A and B are shown apart, each in its own frame.
Chain A
Amino acid sequence: MEIEIEKQGKSLLIKVKGRMDAVTSSEFEQKCAELIEDGERYFIVDLERLEYISSAGLRSILITARELEPDQGEICFCNLKGLVREVFSVSGFHLTFSIYDTCEEALERSLD
């Protein structure tokens, strides 16, 4: 799994590439924990190039969301494709988190 981070105003655009499974998802969780530690509060996660996500990946997302809660932080997602879109919908994640078709849309909304 590869993670790229770009600062966009008060938000962070986090691009995740590859797989989020039992082996790799702790990387995502740890990276996000560090960013929260550094004071970041608004995460836009671009999943365009995420090929695979298992329940372990969803778990790491949920843990990150919980860590953001006390400081009114937010995590949202954009560019869901194929299997990732399917897993989000089957697991009920699409009803719990804000999901945008494009990063531009996500950024626009997060500026409101």
Chain B
Amino acid sequence: MEVSFWGTRGSLPAPVTAQIIRHKVKKALEIAAAENLDAGTDIDNLIDTKLPFWVKGTYGSNTSCVEIRDNEDFLLCDAGSGLREFGYHFLSSHKGSSPKEFHIFISHPHWDHIQGFPFFIPSYIDGTRITIYGCHDNLKESFSLQQRSPFFPVDFDSLGAKIDFVGLEPGKTYDIAGFSVSAMEQNHPGISFGYRFVKNGKTIVYSTDSEHNMASGNNEELVTFFNQADLLIFDAQYTLIDAWTSKEDWGHSNNLIGVELAQKAHVKHLCLFHNDPVSSDQDLDKLLHNTTKLASLLEEGKTPRVSVAYDGMIVEV
């Protein structure tokens, strides 16, 4: 099973600028010069082994969209601006094939989690089937509102695809596209829901836009929901001090709580997600470094593998 991250940024897209690219190029050239780059140098090897990720890449700017791929079925978590990218990729890799069915699970209707839908090209193609799942009432209303005049020129009801909305109840288990799926209510302004997907003994948990603050000490329920996950996608937008002080009640968590919960729940791979739009690529490299170190120092349970999600990241589960 493969998990592809099409959008990993929190709150709103945060694209790189020309100045940022220049900074990366400058750093890359400095490193190359120190390595005595010449015509005979294996450049790919130099990039792979000598350049830090922030220099050779970027964590990306698209908002939440994660694809869980197993065989023919397309499962997606959230429809942030990363969904646009997924749509293009799907069309270019399935040229000439018949329309498909997409299952989209919505954590909550905040704009950064639905804003990619009007740009999801398959939704304009007759014969495509899209099922949108969620635990909020009136999800359809949120989707059609963002496509209403004057916000967008194409009305939601005029899209070519057959689009259905299916309401889920947290705590129940559903059989969807071969996965056993359950949802859990999370602490977030307007509430959000996490999803747990299980198939063939593999478990993926998608838990974004979820705050674990002083007041919400109900960890046992979370630990059970995360239990033994092969991959836990976890909102770590803030540092712990920000999450508990200036950004309290803003609805997001942090890397320290992520490590503690992942260790308690015996998670195998903790993937930090919903990256803060104010974080630079360098900041996120540091977040990965610090969190990996932290996971090896904190002693409860086993140390999970740690990663920070980036647009284009693919994780084999």
Contact = CB atoms under 8 A, between A and B. Distances in A.
A17 interface: no
Interface of B: 214, 239-242, 244-245, 254-257, 260, 290-291, 293-294, 297-300
B239 A92 contact: yes
A111 interface: no
Given A54-B298, A55-B256, A92-B240, 7 more contacts: A55-B260, A58-B256, A82-B297, A87-B256, A90-B240, A90-B255, A91-B254
Interface string A44-85: 000000001011001100110000000000000000001100
A59 B256 contact: no
Contact of B240 (A52, A58, A63): A58
A82 B239 CA distance: 20
Contact of B241 (A54, A82, A93): A93
Contacts of B240: 55, 58, 90-93
A54 B256 CA distance: 8
Contacts of B293: 86, 90
Contacts of A54: 260, 298, 300
B297 A86 contact: yes
Chain A CB count within 10 A is highest, among B255, B256, B257, for: B256
Given A54-B260, A55-B257, A62 B297 contact: no
Interface of A: 52, 54-55, 58-59, 62-63, 82-83, 86-87, 89-93, 95-96
A90 B256 contact: yes
Main secondary structure of the interface of B (DSSP, over half): helix
Contacts of B255: 90
B142 to A, nearest CB: 34
A96 B241 contact: yes
If over half of A's interface residues share one DSSP class (helix, strand or loop), that class is named, otherwise mixed; here it is helix
Contacts of B254: 91
A89 B293 CA distance: 11
Contacts of B260: 54-55
B294 A92 contact: no
Contacts of A95: 241
Most A-side CB within 10 Å, residue of B241, B293, B294: B241
Identify which of A55, A82, A90 gathers the most chain B CB atoms within 10 Å of its CB.
A90
20 contacts: A52-B299, A55-B240, A55-B256, A55-B257, A55-B260, A62-B241, A62-B245, A63-B214, A82-B297, A83-B297, A86-B297, A87-B256, A89-B290, A90-B239, A90-B240, A90-B255, A90-B294, A91-B241, A92-B239, A92-B240
